[in-house]
C-alpha cells in the first residue's frame, strides 16, 4: 500500500514521473491508482487528444514506445495507460528498446503500466532498471491479520461509523477480495449518510450477511461443538446459497482448521507470537485456544480431509451432484463427529 500511496500523492500534487510501472498480486490498489490517472491527470478537454488507453493483449512494447515518443497536442502532457500489462510479452529486442527508453524517457509523456495479479520478475534487467529509476511500484496482498483493520479504515474513509465486530464479520464473509469489499461499502451510500452507524441490521439487509446465520457464526459453533446451533446455521446457509456460496464457506473453514493445526504446533508460545506466525489478529487466538480443547491436532488434521472431500462434492467430482444444503449439513455432521468417523 505504501508504494501506491506515493503514486496517489504524486497525482494529487501534479508531480508526475515519466513512467509508473504498477505491479503485484493485489489488483485493487492498481485499479484505484489507474482510475486516478484516468480521471485526475488531464483536463476533460485534453483527454480526447492526449489520453490513450491500450490493453496488453492487443499491443506490444514496440507500439507502446512509439506512442510514448510522440508529443502532446495543444497541451503540456500526454498520458498513456497500458491496462492488463501482465499480458504483454517482452521480446529480447523489445527489452533493449525499453531499457533505452528508461534511460531517456520523454518528459512530456506519462506512461503507466497496470501489471496485475503478479509481480514483475525481479531478475530481469528491465525490472532492475525500473527499480533503480524508482519507476516501479508494488501492490502486495494484505495479510489476513490486517484485513479487519483495513476494512475498518475503509468504513471510516467512506465517512461511516461501525458497530463493534462489523469489520471482522465482513472480513469473514467477504474474504480478502478488496474490490468486492470496497464495492459493497460503496453501495451503502444509498442508505447511509456521513457519520451513520454501520450495524448488523444494515449489513444483513444490504450486503446479505445475516448476523446470526453466516460463516463466522458457523465457524464459532463448530469450534465450540455447539451442535444444535451449528446444524441450525448450516441448514439456513444451505437454503440461502445465493448469499452463502458453498465454495466460499468451504474455503473459510479450510483456513480456520488449517490455522488450528498451526496453533497446536505453537502451543507454549506467547499469544502475540502465535498470532504473528499464524497471520491472524491477536484477538482471534482465544478462538483457537477454545477450538483446540475440542479438536486435538490429530482430529484437526482429519477435519482437513473432510473439508477436501466436501470441496470435491461441491464440484460434482466423483459423486452425484449434491445440493448446497446437503453439503452444508453433511460437512457440519462430519466435523462435529470427527472423533467417531473414519476418513479417507
Domain harbouring 195, CATH code? 1.10.8
CATH number, domain at 42? Answer: 3.40.50.300
Secondary element (H or E) of residue 53:
strand 51-55
Across 51-61, average pLDDT: 97
Is the pLDDT at 209 greater than 80? The verdict is no
pLDDT at 36: 98
On whether both 228 and 305 belong to a single domain, the answer is yes
Boundary residue ending a domain (119, 138, 157): 138
Distance CA 2, CA 130 (A): 17
- Across the chain, mean pLDDT equals 92
On whether both 7 and 130 belong to a single domain, the answer is yes
pLDDT at 204: 82
Across 298-305, average pLDDT: 96
Is the pLDDT at 279 greater than 90? The verdict is no
pLDDT at 93: 80
Is the pLDDT at 334 greater than 90? The verdict is yes
Phi, psi of 52 (to 5 degrees): -125, 135
Boundary residue ending a domain (118, 138, 158): 138
Is the pLDDT at 234 greater than 90? The verdict is yes
pLDDT, greater one: 144 or 106: 106
Give the HSE-up count for residue 50: Cα atoms under 13 Å, Cβ half-sphere.
20
Helix (H, G, I), strand (E, B) or coil at 241: coil
Across 125-151, average pLDDT: 93
On whether both 229 and 253 belong to a single domain, the answer is yes
Across 324-337, average pLDDT: 95
CB 110 within 8 A of CB 64: no
When divided into structural domains, the chain yields a total of: 3
pLDDT at 283: 78
Q: In what order do the strands lie in the sheet with 136-138?
A: 51-55, 78-83, 109-116, 19-24, 136-138
For residue 24, the cross-strand partners are 116, 118
CATH number, domain at 263? Answer: 1.20.272.10
Is the pLDDT at 178 greater than 70? The verdict is yes
pLDDT at 321: 72
pLDDT at 131: 97
pLDDT at 34: 98
On whether both 229 and 188 belong to a single domain, the answer is no
Query: Which one, of 296, 271, 292, lies nearest residue 283 by Cα?
Result: 271
On whether both 174 and 293 belong to a single domain, the answer is no
Residue 198 pLDDT level (bands cut at 50, 70, 90):
very high
Helix (H, G, I), strand (E, B) or coil at 125: helix
Is the pLDDT at 56 greater than 70? The verdict is yes
Give the max Cα distance, the chain. 77
Is the pLDDT at 294 greater than 60? The verdict is yes
Boundary residue ending a domain (79, 111, 138): 138
On whether both 88 and 162 belong to a single domain, the answer is no
Is the pLDDT at 344 greater than 60? The verdict is no
On whether both 202 and 223 belong to a single domain, the answer is no
pLDDT at 316: 83
On whether both 180 and 97 belong to a single domain, the answer is no
Across 271-295, average pLDDT: 90
On whether both 306 and 225 belong to a single domain, the answer is yes
pLDDT, greater one: 241 or 138: 138
> What digits encode the pLDDT tens for the residues 69-118?
999 998 999 999 999 999 998 887 889 999 999 999 999 999 999 999 99
Helix (H, G, I), strand (E, B) or coil at 273: helix
Residue 343 pLDDT level (bands cut at 50, 70, 90):
low
Structural domain including 156 reads 144-206
Residue given cell 451503502 in the structure block: 188
Is the pLDDT at 1 greater than 80? The verdict is no
Across 41-57, average pLDDT: 96
C-alpha cell, 171: 472480513
On whether both 84 and 69 belong to a single domain, the answer is yes
Q: Angle formed by the axes of helices 271-278 and 285-294, to 10°? A: 90
Phi-psi region of 117 (alpha: psi -120 to 50; beta: other; left: phi over 0): left
Question: Is the pTM for the entire model greater than 0.85?
Answer: no
On whether both 129 and 150 belong to a single domain, the answer is no
pLDDT at 165: 81
On whether both 318 and 225 belong to a single domain, the answer is yes
Helix (H, G, I), strand (E, B) or coil at 20: strand
Amino acid at each position: 500500500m505504501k508504494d501506491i500511496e506515493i503514486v496517489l500523492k504524486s497525482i494529487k500534487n501534479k508531480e508526475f514521473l515519466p513512467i509508473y510501472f504498477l505491479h503485484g498480486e493485489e489488483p485493487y490498489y492498481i485499479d484505484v491508482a489507474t482510475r486516478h490517472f484516468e480521471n485526475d491527470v488531464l483536463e476533460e478537454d485534453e483527454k480526447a487528444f492526449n489520453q490513450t488507453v491500450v490493453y496488453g493483449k492487443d499491443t506490444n512494447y514496440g507500439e507502446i514506445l512509439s506512442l510514448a515518443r510522440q508529443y502532446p497536442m495543444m497541451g503540456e502532457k500526454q498520458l498513456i495507460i497500458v491496462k492488463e500489462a501482465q499480458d504483454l510479452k517482452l521480446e529480447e529486442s523489445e527489452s533493449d528498446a525499453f531499457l533505452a527508453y528508461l534511460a531517456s524517457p520523454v518528459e512530456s509523456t506519462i506512461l503507466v503500466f497496470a501489471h496485475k495479479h503478479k509481480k514483475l520478475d525481479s531478475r530481469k534487467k528491465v525490472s532492475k532498471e525500473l527499480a533503480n529509476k524508482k519507476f516501479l511500484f508494488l501492490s502486495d496482498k494484505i495479510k489476513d491479520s490486517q484485513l479487519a483493520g483495513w476494512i475498518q479504515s475503509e468504513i471510516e474513509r467512506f465517512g461511516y461509523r461501525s458497530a463493534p465486530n462489523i469489520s471482522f464479520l465482513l472480513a469473514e464473509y467477504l474474504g480478502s477480495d478488496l474490490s468486492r469489499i470496497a464495492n459493497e461499502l460503496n453501495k451503502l451510500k444509498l442508505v447511509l449518510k456521513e457519520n451513520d452507524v454501520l450495524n448488523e441490521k444494515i449489513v444483513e439487509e444490504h450486503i446479505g450477511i445475516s448476523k446470526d446465520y453466516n460463516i463466522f457464526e458457523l465457524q464459532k459453533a463448530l469450534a465450540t461443538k455447539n451442535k444444535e446451533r451449528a446444524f441450525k446455521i448450516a441448514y439456513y446457509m444451505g437454503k440461502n446459497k445465493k448469499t452463502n456460496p458453498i465454495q466460499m464457506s468451504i474455503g473459510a473453514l479450510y483456513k480456520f482448521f488449517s490455522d488450528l493445526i498451526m496453533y497446536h504446533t505453537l502451543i507454549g508460545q506467547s499469544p502475540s507470537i502465535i498470532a504473528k506466525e499464524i497471520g491472524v489478529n491477536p484477538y482471534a487466538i482465544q478462538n483457537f485456544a477454545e477450538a483446540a480443547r475440542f479438536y486435538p491436532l490429530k482430529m484437526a488434521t482429519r477435519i482437513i480431509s473432510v473439508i477436501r472431500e466436501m470441496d470435491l462434492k461441491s464440484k460434482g467430482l466423483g459423486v452425484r451432484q449434491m445440493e448446497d444444503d446437503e453439503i452444508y449439513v453433511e460437512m457440519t455432521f462430519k466435523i462435529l463427529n470427527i472423533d467417531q468417523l473414519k476418513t479417507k
